[in-house]
């Protein structure tokens, strides 16, 4: 057994929350730079140039990339040969979020659903645990903005709807979302298992480096087809018209029930934040 | 793209009627912040016959919930939030003389019609550019609903704050024009 003190987890999460909110990942930054070349609309090009300028300013530490510093979505892959000491894991993760959002001057965006009273420290985070072989812990922090999350959807399709039904559903959703989720967007599509599993897969799809195709060639083909169709919608950067509506479509798939074809669409804005560390 | 138009708040009917969807505008002067929770309280105040935290006549409301200011800076990241959530509130404020809203994304038909009838403009700012836009905010002060934290109403002093006209007073809509131009129909 490898022993990891939970203070290490707290520190790591605090740093990742700050890092994610100030330093746009290289893959996203590069995809946005390439998008300037691809975009045909002058307004769209100007928007993309501002987005790059903004990322540079945030990296200098002027302010976070976006005022919506997100709900902290945390993926914990815990090696089964790891034992934690010094408290309990959930508390350590929560403390890391509190510390990161406080010390990083990040906006606290969690609130009571009815009274809308702000919780004040951006807890609770959304934590996805996975137990894996080995003695390491992989932590991914992916702060998720509300504007793009609001445009997401789970649809329980019929098996007869097939691949075409999935493609239609995704394209329709992106079209309806228009400029709301801050395009150019990244579209996560999850098909698999149950209602909640498909939503999880769609979220997980957003963690993949931007534009890296699914290793399955058939799924990669579907990703490409959806991307082409989405970029023909004309929505463009910020929904003000253009040829780059999405930077990428990432599709994750698993077997489903014989009666079902759940299809989840998780939309991410161009501030596609994800940072990770291996302890 | 058209030339940049400079405007200073408060705005008059003459200021806004000359604007056309797609015009790039630099706003200077005082603007006010408000999101969902602040709008809800403002409308409740009006229903009870209580005064608003500021007179909306001729003013511009920026739909934003900024991140905390770092030491030595007036404000943190301050980009627009999605505007459709203010659809239930915006028409009433426009009828009271509000001249502009700054946000991102679509708003309702009702808001568009109010922009025409009461001469108001819906401006778009670039979402996800909070650090960049914060540079154009010179001063920020909470003037109401402090308990709402990021959602409190703030009085901002801005200099050349960059926006684009989305809905103008003549029925022009940048989203419609822009998307139609680049949509590929098969």
Cross-chain residue pair A178–B76, CB shorter than 8 Å? no
State whether A128 and A160 are in the same domain. Answer: no
Phi/psi for A8 (5° steps) reads -65, -40
The two three-digit tokens of residue B19, written as one number: 């604007």
Q: What pLDDT is recorded for position A113? A: 94
In a domain, B186, yes or no: no
CB count in 10 Å sphere of residue A121:
15
pLDDT digits 0-9 by tens, B49-106: 999 999 999 999 999 999 999 999 999 999 999 999 999 999 999 999 999 999 999 9
A150 contact residues in B (CB cutoff 8 A):
82
CB count in 10 Å sphere of residue B112:
18
Cross-chain residue pair A67–B1, CB shorter than 8 Å? no
pLDDT digits 0-9 by tens, B161-180: 999 999 999 999 999 999 99
State whether A106 and A8 are in the same domain. Answer: yes
Per the annotation, the verdict on B39 as an active-site residue is: yes
Indicate the average pLDDT of chain A: 97
State whether A119 and A164 are in the same domain. Answer: no
For residue B48, the domain's CATH number is: 3.20.130.10
State whether A154 and A138 are in the same domain. Answer: no
State whether A80 and A107 are in the same domain. Answer: yes
B39 contact residues in A (CB cutoff 8 A):
none
DSSP, res B11: P
Mean pLDDT in order along chain A per 10 residues (279 residues): 96 98 97 97 96 97 96 98 97 98 97 92 97 97 96 97 97 97 98 96 96 96 98 97 98 97 97 96
In a domain, A57, yes or no: no
State whether A133 and A209 are in the same domain. Answer: no
Q: Is A36 on the interface with B (CB under 8 A)?
A: no
How far does the CA of residue A77 sit from the closest CA of chain B (Å)? 29
In a domain, A56, yes or no: no
Q: Which of A109, A144, A179 is the last residue of a domain?
A: A144
Domain, as residue range, for B54: 31-153
In a domain, A170, yes or no: yes
State whether A162 and A248 are in the same domain. Answer: yes
A46 contact residues in B (CB cutoff 8 A):
1
Cross-chain residue pair B104–A182, CB shorter than 8 Å? yes
State whether A154 and A260 are in the same domain. Answer: yes
HSE-up of B138 (CA within 13 Å, CB side)?
9
Domain, as residue range, for A191: 147-272
The C-alpha atoms of residue B169 and residue B18 are separated, in whole angstroms, by: 8
Cross-chain residue pair A67–B64, CB shorter than 8 Å? yes
In a domain, A89, yes or no: yes
The C-alpha atoms of residue A13 and residue B120 are separated, in whole angstroms, by: 45
∠ CA A143-A146-A151, nearest 5°, is 120
State whether A105 and A196 are in the same domain. Answer: no
The two three-digit tokens of residue B174, written as one number: 């940048």
pLDDT at B2 over 60: no
Q: Which of A120, A144, A168 is the last residue of a domain?
A: A144
In a domain, A27, yes or no: no
pLDDT digits 0-9 by tens, A135-180: 999 999 999 999 999 999 999 999 999 999 999 999 999 999 999 9
Q: Which of A127, A144, A161 is the last residue of a domain?
A: A144
Q: What pLDDT is recorded for position A152? A: 97
Q: Is residue A4 classed as helix, strand or coil in its secondary structure? A: strand
Instruction: List the single residue in A with minimal CA-CA distance to B173.
Output: A240
State whether A164 and A129 are in the same domain. Answer: no
pLDDT at B24 over 60: yes
State whether A175 and A127 are in the same domain. Answer: no
Q: Is B171 on the interface with A (CB under 8 A)?
A: no
Instruction: List the single residue in B with minimal CA-CA distance to A151.
Output: B82
B64 contact residues in A (CB cutoff 8 A):
67
Distance of CA B71 to the CA centre of its chain: 26
Q: What pLDDT is recorded for position B3? A: 77
Q: Is A155 on the interface with B (CB under 8 A)?
A: no
| ipTM of the modeled complex | 0.94
The count of domains in chain A is: 2
Q: What pLDDT is recorded for position A272? A: 95
The residues that bridge with B121 in the sheet, in sequence order, are B100
Candidates B70, B73, B77; nearest CB to A67? B77
Model-level pTM?
A: 0.94
In a domain, A279, yes or no: no
State whether A11 and A103 are in the same domain. Answer: yes
The count of domains in chain B is: 1
């Amino acid at each position: 057994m490898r022993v990891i003190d939970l203070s290490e987890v707290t520190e790591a999460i605090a740093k990742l929350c700050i890092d994610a909110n100030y330093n746009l990942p290289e893959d996203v930054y590069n995809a946005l730079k390439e998008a300037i070349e691809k975009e045909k609309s002058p307004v769209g090009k100007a928007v993309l140039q501002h987005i790059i300028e903004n990322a540079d300013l945030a990296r200098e530490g002027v302010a976070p990339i976006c005022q919506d510093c997100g709900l902290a979505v945390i993926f914990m892959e815990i090696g089964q040969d790891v034992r934690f000491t010094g408290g309990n894991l959930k508390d350590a993760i929560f403390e890391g979020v509190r510390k990161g959002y406080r010390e990083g001057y990040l906006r606290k965006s969690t609130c009571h659903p009815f009274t809308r009273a702000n919780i004040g420290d951006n807890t609770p985070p959304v934590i996805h645990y996975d137990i894996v072989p080995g003695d390491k812990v992989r932590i991914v922090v992916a702060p998720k903005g509300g504007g793009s999350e609001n445009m997401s959807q789970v649809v329980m399709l019929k098996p007869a709807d097939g691949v075409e039904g999935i493609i239609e559903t995704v394209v329709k959703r992106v079209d309806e979302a228009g400029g709301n989720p801050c395009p150019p967007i990244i579209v996560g599509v999850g098909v698999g298992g149950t209602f909640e599993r498909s939503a999880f897969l769609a979220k997980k799809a957003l963690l993949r480096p931007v534009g890296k195709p699914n290793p399955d060639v058939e799924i990669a083909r579907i990703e490409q087809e959806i991307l082409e169709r989405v970029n023909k919608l004309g929505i463009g950067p910020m929904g003000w018209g253009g040829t780059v509506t999405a930077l990428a479509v990432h599709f994750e798939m698993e077997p489903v029930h014989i009666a079902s074809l759940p299809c989840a669409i998780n939309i991410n804005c161009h501030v596609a934040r994800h940072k990770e560390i291996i302890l | 793209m058209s030339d940049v138009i400079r405007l200073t708040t408060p705005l008059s009917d003459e200021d806004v009627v000359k604007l056309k969807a797609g015009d790039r505008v630099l706003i200077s002067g005082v603007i006010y912040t408000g999101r969902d929770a602040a709008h809800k309280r403002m409308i409740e105040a009006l229903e009870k016959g209580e005064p608003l935290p500021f007179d909306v006549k001729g003013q511009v409301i920026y739909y934003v919930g900024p991140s905390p200011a770092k030491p030595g800076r007036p404000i943190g990241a301050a980009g627009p939030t999605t505007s459709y959530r203010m659809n239930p509130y915006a028409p009433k404020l426009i009828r009271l003389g509000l001249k502009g809203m700054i946000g991102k994304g679509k708003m309702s038909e009702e808001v568009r019609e109010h922009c025409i009838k009461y001469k108001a403009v819906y401006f778009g700012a670039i979402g996800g550019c909070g650090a960049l836009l914060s540079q154009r905010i010179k001063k920020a002060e909470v003037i109401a609903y402090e308990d709402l934290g990021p959602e409190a109403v703030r009085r901002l002093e801005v200099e050349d704050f960059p926006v684009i006209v989305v809905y103008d007073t003549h029925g022009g809509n940048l989203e419609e024009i822009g998307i139609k131009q680049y949509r590929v129909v098969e």
